Amino acid sequence: METIYERERRFIKDFNEIGDSFDQYAYLIELSCLLPPLPEELKTDENVVSGCQSTVWLDIRTDGGIFRFSSDSNTLIIKGVLYILQELFNGQAVSEVATANLSFLRETAIMDTFESSRQKGLGYVIARLQAAAGAAKQ
């Protein structure tokens, strides 16, 4: 299985090969279509990531030391980013997820349009995923 790092490098390369920044966002929107809908009963207050300008729900499972999460958002671009995170983390060992040093938000232009509160919001999403993985590791 590809490591988180290998998956991320592949994604960054694919994304940056799309030269036009509008088409990059269109690609994120396409990815959002691949995100399976989160069942309504999982859209609970506890699953909402606070601090996000867009509403983001995360349902995290760490059964058997394997990390899996489902997610949803009310904005398609954020859903696209959530899809990428699911692709990177799902099926990986919790220890790998907890210690991964993600760089795709820095190495692509995804964040360029996001105002600082939304940039922080995505940071909270990643922090919450990794904190859950870290807790499961212990």
d(CA 4, CA 130): 13
Q: Is 6 in the site for another protein (CB under 8 A)?
A: no
d(CA 19, CA 116): 24
d(CA 14, CA 128): 26
Q: Is 44 in the site for another protein (CB under 8 A)?
A: no
Residue from 30, 44, 61, 131 touching another protein (CB under 8 A): that is 30
Per-residue string for binding with another protein, 76-115, x by CB under 8 A? xx----------------------------------xxx-
**Toward another protein, which CB reaches closer, 89 or 114?**
114
Distances (CA, A) of 40 to 37, 57, 86, 102: 9, 10, 19, 29
d(CA 131, CA 52): 17
**Toward another protein, which CB reaches closer, 67 or 114?**
114
CB of 123 to another protein, least distance (A): 17
Q: Of the listed pieces 32-40, 44-52, 82-90, 99-107, which binds another protein according to CB under 8 A?
A: 32-40
Q: Of the listed pieces 3-11, 58-66, 71-79, 90-98, which binds another protein according to CB under 8 A?
A: 71-79
Q: Is 12 in the site for another protein (CB under 8 A)?
A: no
Q: What is the DSSP letter of 77?
A: H
Scan for tokens 């269109």, then name that residue: 26
Alpha helices (H) along 18-114: 21-34, 76-89, 94-99, 104-107
| Interface with another protein (CB under 8 A) | 21-22, 24-26, 29-30, 32-33, 37, 53-54, 74-77, 112-114, 118
